[in-house]
Structure 1
Amino acid sequence: MSEQRDGGWSDTKPTGPEQQALADKVKGDVEKAANRIFSEYKAVLYRFQVVQGMNYIIKVHVEAPTYVHVKLFQDLNGGVKYEGFQDHKTEEDPIIIF
């Protein structure tokens, strides 16, 4: 498995409480963009990029069998900004940079 390079995106990794907390901060933005409320919202995998802060793309399980890929930015002060999402993903879909 390759390591993350400065400015490059990491390999896909399993999420932990930190990534779930980040995903939770933008849940309302994702629901608004998707035009629906999610009965489930569990972060499962993620990729990140170190910039002047951190870019993240997090795979979130929203309802069987659907996933969404959520893009967000965390600034150096810990602020989180919603950047977009991709809908209708499956468990098998890789996290592709968008």
Structure 2
Amino acid sequence: MFVQKLDRLTLDSCLADLPSYDFEVQITTLGKVVAEAFHEHPELPGVMITAENKIIGMISRIQFFERLSRPYGLEVFLNRPIHVLWDIIAKSEKLLDVETL
């Protein structure tokens, strides 16, 4: 999941040299699988949600744990597919088109 190491950076490094993460799950993946990955890899900033090999959304680590910390959050989201949490976050967040000024 952690693609590059910081010790490879030099004074001549560019943005493409910065560390990147690759953590994606299918929409049917249970929330507890994502929670386990976040606990095992505290450096992960979030997760990409995919369906049919296309990214349909992203959930940041902060958003994930904020929702789980609410009343009944653990019971509601850990044993259900991650798309349940994504659907709620997508409806509550203001999403802007890339062309928005």
| TM-score, L = length of structure 2 | 0.24
Higher helix share: 2
Higher strand share: 1
